[in-house]
Amino acid sequence: MSAHIEIPYNMDERPDTGLYNAKLGVWLFLASEVMLFGALFSSYVLLRTGASTWEAGHLILNWKLAMVNTFVLIGSSVTMVMSWAALKMNNLAKFKLYMGLTVLCGIAFLVIKGIEYAAKFEHGLLPNQSTFMAIYFTMTGLHGLHVIGGMIVNGYLLGPGSKMWATEPQRFTNRIEVAGLYWHFVDLVWIFLFPTLYLLPGK
Amino acid sequence: MLQKLLGLPINASAHGGEIDSLIGWVHLLMVVLFIGWILLFFWMLVRFRKGRQPRADHEGVKSHASSYVEAVIVVLEIILLVGISIPFWAKKVNAFPTAAEDPLRIRVIAQQFAWNIHYPGPDGKFGKTEINKIASDNPIGLIRKGDGADDVVEVNQLYIPVNRPIILDTTTMDVIHSVFLPLFRVKQDTIPGMIIPIYFTATQTTEEIRQQMKETLPLDSKRNFELYAPAADVKNDSGAVIVKKGVRINASAKKRLIDAGITTLEVVPANPTEIACAQLCGLNHFRMKGYVNVLTADEFKKWYAEEVENQSE
Amino acid sequence: MATDTHHHHNEHHDEPSWIRKYVFSTDHKVIGIQYGLTSLVFLFFGFCLLMMMRWQLAYPGEALPLLGKWLGEARMPGGVMAPEFYNQLGAMHGTIMVFLGVVPLAVGAFGNYLVPLQVGAQDMAFPKLNMSSYWVYFVGGVVMFASFFVPEGAAQSGWTSYAPLSIVTTPAQSIFRGQTMWLIGMVFLITSSLLGSVNIIVTIVQLRAPGLTWMRLPFFCWAQLVTSFLLLLAFPPLEAAGVMQLMDRLAGSSFFMPAGLVISGKPWEGSGGGSALLWQHLFWFLAHPEVYVLILPAMGIVAEVIANNTRKPLWGYSALVWASAILGFLSFVVWAHHMYLTGMGTAISAFFQTTTMLISVPSIIILTALILSLWGGSIRFTTPMLFALAFLPMFGIGGLTGLPLGLATSDIQLHDTYYVIGHFHYVVAPGTIFALFAGIYYWYPKVTGRRMSETLGKWHFWGSLVFMNTVFMPMFVQGMAGMSRRMYDGGEAYLHNQHVLGFNRMIGVGAWGLGLFQLFFIINFFWSLKRGEKVNDNPWKATTLEWNTPTPPPHGNFTKIPDAYRGPYEYSLPGSDTHKDYYPQWEPDHVAKAGPKETK
Ligand code: HEA
Ligand code: HEA
Ligand code: CUA
Ligand SMILES: [Cu+2]
């Protein structure tokens, strides 16, 4: 709208805080995400300690596929960093390459997840079967939604959003950094989810 | 005194006095603080109104008195906390009556919207229950074999002897309820999947409490007269008994009384010791009501023997 | 000041379309007003629900006049309120007042409108996010409101939605059931709060004007900052819990359902293995910090109004700041004081009793500082000041009655009685609501350029003060007598509270009287828009930066981004001349000291 609105520190860091706005914003957002997943992990612990039996993840879940997925996500985190580094080195083409890879990894993750889910549905292993299955679907489902959200953002930054590079390169680079922070967080959540759900023994 | 002042109900339990005295002390602290502050507050409103004080003093209060007051409040809070509340709780949770005190153990199983009371038989053992056995004549699904053969099950009626420690194992079959015995200062949420034991000792029988709560009510008062009974037989002009002593004043009794030209009546509660449900548990939460009947040791023995006789198979 | 430059301003750019300007605006002030109006409507709606409930309590089983027929047979068979409808009204009154009324008004409206102005910024840090937070809130509100019209009506398990009750009541696996819609609505409201609080924090941290150091920040902004942190960190666990309860209701999982339940005589078919108390922990982990979300912005407003109307700085500004930060921190570790009677052991209860006593200390410090700020003042009894002053003893009563609840031993008798209802209404109704009224009367001139009528305002104040107390004071007596809350018949069935039932009539009359006196406010609110006395940019002769804008502030707020030269409340400096007793933050020393000067 009115071109006169000038939000300071949209792009450069505020000297006394050392942050630009979006970066502080995303850190705050991630803090709330920590509380969200923290609550779910705490619920897991509480339900597990209170339960008389608990399934062993590796027996009913496909831990091999999940292992592959772990590497896919870690890989995507690496390419995400590289895409940001590419912008820092003023190389848009490289950025597009790495960002494209990141998005591809996201798709791969979701496809694999989809295969896993389909198998569970087929065997009637639904949330109503046990608390373990319930928490499995809830946590991976919520995590999956986060992946989808991240991919929409990354896809936008790769496609139409990248036009900003021509006009405001610094701001665009910031955006990639911020999207990257979020993406690493999503990755990190998975790194906690994987052993918790797939590897921990039952009781 | 304290109860009257604060409007607490009669206390008829051994531990209730401690709860009441804590409530009393906290309220004393609260009232003193409130009065102190409100006097200062109003005084300042008058003293520092614009008319009297056209120009404000930039600095305001210079003394540190308020810090001392705050410190005193903190100290008093700590005294109440460490001196009364925490020790009381420790006793409530850990110091269950020992076998030497011969406690009576009873199960309370709440359901929407009734209180099921389960006594062990003379063998002292609770029978097993099975949810598939639940039926209208077997509210808790008791297996009437083995330990359960001689058990006693009541609905909405808890019979206990006076002056003997009672242990209630509280639980629920469905949603959360809360066993509330206002006159015994007992309140415990019943949590599905958990059995939570609590204990108390009644120090007065229901009859004693009933007599204490005798009062004279105008018949047009807002009270729910179904909960009361006349303290003595009520006769009409011709001397015929129209409402009997001790019988609930239902609508037709009330009508008879009014027709006989009676305007005030000496009443006692039909049953002053109630089990209330203190946790929202659905549509009929508001009338999920049971009764405690505190009997003398002999009365209890007699009641128990009869029930065992009636119920065992 | 520069009212004409501002007109001149707008002519230069093409006017944004009406929709962009008033509906999908990114201007924090427009969003603030949107939040304000929507939340006032919800507040009024929530109050109406309550006035209906009070009829049923005052005259149990008697047909509700007028509305009885109109609400339909399902809710009002024969014009008499059905128990399920009573429970719906109760649950939705609590939910609406807290999540759709007070929080959006205190944070969404006041925070949005004032924080950028007080920190000297042109807008929020993320204007588009700001707009979406309002619309997400709006959708959440619509979902909640619509839930009254689905089969079997709205949620009816209390605003606390304790499981398993909330899961087994109207359990059809359909989205269109009250409780399910409540959960979905909550997810929207939580999301909206998260977006809003990120925005407020970033705005305060990053966009403070030059010279506006942390200790020169108005206390209102500090209160908003702490509040936003509470929203940011406490809400997500409830979001997690909401998702889990949705799974229980829709996907048949058993997060909150242990095995072996028998519902209405039939064994419940579910895997079991869940924990009913897990819900309570997650709920109160939010809902306790939430109550400080309700009170902190109120304290912020009261602080501003008091400083202005005593014409002196707040007493103990830095104590206020520290106390609110500590209050915020401690509010995360007291949640289980709502759960003393769920079978708690000694160690855990000792912990939560101790933290609860501890948290009363910063509250006492804040209240003491606010009260002692009156000392030495030159008090003006304007309408906003009356509301702000009344806040102090009313919050005092509410806060003090928190103490016996905070001690587990006395809570045995008082838990879930009307004593609790009395306690928290004193803090939220004559507490927070009064503070919000104070804020509306105080900032109305900045928002609209006109002052609200003092006469109508005083009628509104005195009526509200009297009737608020008529409503809530008897509740302590009822609670002491052991009268339970959430009683459809108001306690008729129980003997132990018979002698305090008479108060139910009195409370009813109080509630309807309170409703009547709100008409003075509603009329004043709309009448003053057109007819109120016109004012200049700084009608209260105030010192904080929002009064440095043209009135009403244009898009972009300031004609020139101000510098802050001093603390927020420099009134009545010693040695200054008698004509001008205030030194605004934005005036450089040589202007400020230069004798009489009216802002115009
Ligand atoms: C704004 C909201 C708000 C605030 C600020 C508070 C503040 C406090 N609350 Fe309250 N509370 C609620 C809202 C609030 N509460 C709600 C909504 C519920 C019920 C939820 C439900 O079950 O539905 C509840 C329930 C509740 C319970 C559970 C009761 C039960 O269910 O059994 C407890 C128990 O510890 C408690 C304690 C406290 C304490 C110790 C404080 C302390 O922070 C208070 C500290 C303040 C003071 C000690 C005052 C200091 C006073 C002075 C200095 C004197 C001043 C006097 C004059 C000016 C004249 N509250
Ligand atoms: C912020 C929270 C809040 C607020 C402000 C209120 C305000 C009021 N509440 Fe409520 N209440 C709750 C939160 C709140 N309540 C909660 C959480 C519960 C528990 C629910 C449960 O059990 O689950 C509850 C329960 C509750 C009960 C107990 C019901 C029961 O247990 O069965 C009662 C009983 O009287 C009651 C009364 C009132 C009254 C008379 C007011 C009055 O003070 C209301 C006054 C309102 C106003 C003064 C606002 C008027 C608005 C306007 C004038 C706007 C005008 C509009 C424009 C200009 C556009 N409330
Ligand atoms: Cu059972 Cu309320
Ligand atoms: Cu609390």
How far is residue A169 CA from its own chain's centroid? 25
Is the separation of the CB atoms in C513 and C467 below 8 Å? yes
Please tell me which residue of chain C has the smallest CA distance to A5.
Answer: C556
From chain C residues 536-565, the ones with a CB under 8 A of any chain A CB are 555-556
Mutate to test the interface with C, among B73, B74, B75, B81 (most CBs of C within 10 A): B81
Is the separation of the CB atoms in C524 and C387 below 8 Å? no
- Chain A contact set for C9 (CB, 8 A): 4
Q: C59 lies in a domain? A: yes
CB-nearest partner of B187 from C341, C361, C365: C341
Mutate to test the interface with B, among C370, C409, C494 (most CBs of B within 10 A): C409
Give the model's pLDDT for residue B126. Answer: 94
Task: Name the DSSP class of B163.
Answer: T
Ligand in closest contact with the CA of B279: 3
- Cα of B118 from ligand 3 centre, angstroms: 18
Cα atoms found within 13 Å of the Cα of residue A151, Cβ hemisphere only: 19
Q: Of C535, C570, C591, which closes a domain?
A: C535
Going C392 to C394 to C396 to C398, the CA torsion angle's sign is negative
Mutate to test the interface with B, among C56, C57, C165, C302 (most CBs of B within 10 A): C165
Tell me the pLDDT band of C1, cut-offs 50, 70 and 90: very low
Task: Residue C300: name the closest of C331, C324, C318 by CA.
Answer: C324
Report residue C591: phi and psi, to 5°: -75, -45
- Cα of C54 from ligand 2 centre, angstroms: 11
Lowest pLDDT segment from C316-320, C582-586, C588-592: C588-592
From chain C residues 282-321, the ones with a CB under 8 A of any chain B CB are 310-313, 315
Per-residue model confidence as pLDDT tens digits over B145-170: 888 889 999 999 999 999 999 999 99
**Better-scored residue on pLDDT, C469 or C66:** C469
- Cα of A46 from ligand 2 centre, angstroms: 35
**Better-scored residue on pLDDT, C186 or B64:** C186
- How many Å apart are CA B269 and CA B212, to the nearest integer? 10
- C306 and C442 share a domain? yes
Give the model's pLDDT for residue C593. Answer: 67
Q: Which amino acid is present at C200?
A: I
Nearest CA to ligand 2 atom 35: C54
Cα atoms found within 13 Å of the Cα of residue C495, Cβ hemisphere only: 28
Q: Tokens standing for B312? A: 């065992």
Rg of chain A (C-alpha set): 20
- Chain B contact set for C372 (CB, 8 A): 60-61, 66
CB-nearest partner of A5 from C123, C255, C278: C123
- How many Å apart are CA C199 and CA C187, to the nearest integer? 19
Task: Residue C349: name the closest of B170, B22, B81, B171 by CA.
Answer: B81
Is the separation of the CB atoms in C308 and C288 below 8 Å? no
- How many Å apart are CA C110 and CA C101, to the nearest integer? 12
Q: Of C254, C278, C311, which closes a domain?
A: C254
Residue matched to tokens 């209060």: B61
pTM of the model: 0.95
Determine the distance in angstroms separating the CA of B60 from the nearest CA of chain C, rounded to an integer.
5
Average pLDDT of chain C?
92
Is the separation of the CB atoms in B134 and B196 below 8 Å? no
Count how many domains chain C has: 2
Q: C277 lies in a domain? A: no
Q: C592 lies in a domain? A: no
- How many Å apart are CA C8 and CA B245, to the nearest integer? 90
- C372 and C520 share a domain? yes
Helix (H) or strand (E) holding B206: helix B206-212
Q: Is the CB of C158 under 6 A from ligand 1?
A: no
- Chain A contact set for C274 (CB, 8 A): 47, 131, 134
Buried b (16+ CB within 10 A) or exposed e, B239-268: eeebbeeeeebeeebbebbeeeebeebebb
- Chain B contact set for C377 (CB, 8 A): 44, 48, 53, 56-57, 60
Cα dihedral B268→B269→B271→B274 (10° resolution): -140
Per-residue model confidence as pLDDT tens digits over C470-505: 999 999 999 999 999 999 999 999 999 999 999 999
Ramachandran class of C66: left when φ > 0, alpha when ψ lies in -120 to 50, beta otherwise: left
- C307 and C246 share a domain? no
Q: C458 lies in a domain? A: yes
Q: C231 lies in a domain? A: yes
Average pLDDT of chain B?
93
- C56 and C198 share a domain? yes
What domain range includes position C184? 26-254
Is the separation of the CB atoms in A198 and A60 below 8 Å? no
Is the separation of the CB atoms in B198 and B89 below 8 Å? no
- How high is the ipTM of this complex? 0.95
Quick check: B186 contacting C, CB < 8 Å? yes
Q: Tokens standing for C537? A: 């940019």
Give the ranges where C401-532 is alpha helix by DSSP (H).
402-406, 408-414, 418-427, 434-448, 454-480, 502-531
**Better-scored residue on pLDDT, C576 or C328:** C328
Task: Residue A39: name the closest of B33, C214, B200, C286 by CA.
Answer: C286
Q: How many CB atoms lie within 10 A of CB C394?
A: 25
- C59 and C197 share a domain? yes
Q: Tokens standing for C161? A: 């939605």
- Cα of C161 from ligand 2 centre, angstroms: 17
Task: Name the DSSP class of B104.
Answer: E
Give the model's pLDDT for residue B1. Answer: 67
From chain C residues 194-223, the ones with a CB under 8 A of any chain B CB are none
- How many Å apart are CA C120 and CA C505, to the nearest integer? 51
Quick check: C236 contacting B, CB < 8 Å? no
- How many Å apart are CA C226 and CA C223, to the nearest integer? 5
Residue matched to tokens 């899961």: C167
Give the ranges where A2-55 is alpha helix by DSSP (H).
21-50
Quick check: A117 contacting C, CB < 8 Å? no
Quick check: C411 contacting A, CB < 8 Å? no
Task: Residue C281: name the closest of C322, C328, C338, C321 by CA.
Answer: C338
CATH (domain of C360)? 1.20.210.10
Interchain CB distance below 8 Å, A21 and C125: yes
Q: Tokens standing for B176? A: 């959360």
- C338 and C425 share a domain? yes
Please tell me which residue of chain C has the smallest CA distance to B215.
Answer: C499
pLDDT average, residue stretch C228-246: 96
Q: Of C535, C557, C582, which closes a domain?
A: C535
Locate the ligand 3 atom nearest the alpha carbon of residue B277 and give its number.
2
Per-residue model confidence as pLDDT tens digits over B19-61: 999 999 999 999 999 999 999 999 999 999 999 988 888 888 8
Locate the ligand 2 atom nearest the alpha carbon of residue C488 and give its number.
32
Please tell me which residue of chain C has the smallest CA distance to B78.
Answer: C357
- Chain A contact set for C235 (CB, 8 A): 32, 35
- How many Å apart are CA C415 and CA C340, to the nearest integer? 9
Indicate whether A1 pLDDT > 70: no
Determine the distance in angstroms separating the CA of C559 from the nearest CA of chain B, rounded to an integer.
31
Interchain CB distance below 8 Å, A131 and C207: no
Ligand in closest contact with the CA of B113: 3
Give the model's pLDDT for residue C578. Answer: 66
- How many Å apart are CA A111 and CA A144, to the nearest integer? 11
From chain A residues 1-30, the ones with a CB under 8 A of any chain C CB are 1-9, 14, 17, 19-22, 24-25, 28-29
- How many Å apart are CA C598 and CA C587, to the nearest integer? 12
- C388 and C515 share a domain? yes
Tell me the pLDDT band of A109, cut-offs 50, 70 and 90: very high
CB-nearest partner of C206 from A24, A129, A137: A24
Quick check: B58 contacting C, CB < 8 Å? yes
From chain C residues 134-193, the ones with a CB under 8 A of any chain A CB are none
Q: Is the CB of C392 under 6 A from ligand 1?
A: yes
- Chain C contact set for A133 (CB, 8 A): 253
Mutate to test the interface with C, among A1, A11, A156 (most CBs of C within 10 A): A1
- C184 and C72 share a domain? yes
- C307 and C242 share a domain? no
Domains of chain B: 2-94 (1.10.287), 99-205+273-312 (2.60.40.420), 214-269 (3.90.105.10)
Quick check: C83 contacting B, CB < 8 Å? yes
Task: Residue C200: name the closest of C100, C89, C260, C121 by CA.
Answer: C121
pLDDT average, residue stretch C256-275: 90
- Cα of B175 from ligand 3 centre, angstroms: 8
Determine the distance in angstroms separating the CA of C270 from the nearest CA of chain A, rounded to an integer.
7
Domains of chain A: 21-199 (1.20.120.80)
Give the model's pLDDT for residue A2. Answer: 43
Residue matched to tokens 């020992």: B98
Task: Residue A57: name the closest of A140, A142, A144, A148 by CA.
Answer: A140
Is the separation of the CB atoms in B132 and B266 below 8 Å? no
- C397 and C460 share a domain? yes
Task: Name the DSSP class of C170.
Answer: S
Give the model's pLDDT for residue C3. Answer: 39
Give the model's pLDDT for residue C149. Answer: 94
- C237 and C304 share a domain? no
Interchain CB distance below 8 Å, C206 and A28: no
Quick check: C234 contacting A, CB < 8 Å? yes
Q: Pairing state of beta strands B215-218 and B264-269?
A: antiparallel
Pocket of ligand 2, beta carbon within 6 A: C 40-41, 43-44, 47, 50, 54, 90-91, 93-94, 97-98, 102, 158-160, 294, 421, 425, 428-429, 433, 471, 485-486, 511, 514, 518, 521-522, 525
- C143 and C90 share a domain? yes
Per-residue model confidence as pLDDT tens digits over C4-35: 444 444 444 556 677 777 788 899 999 999 99
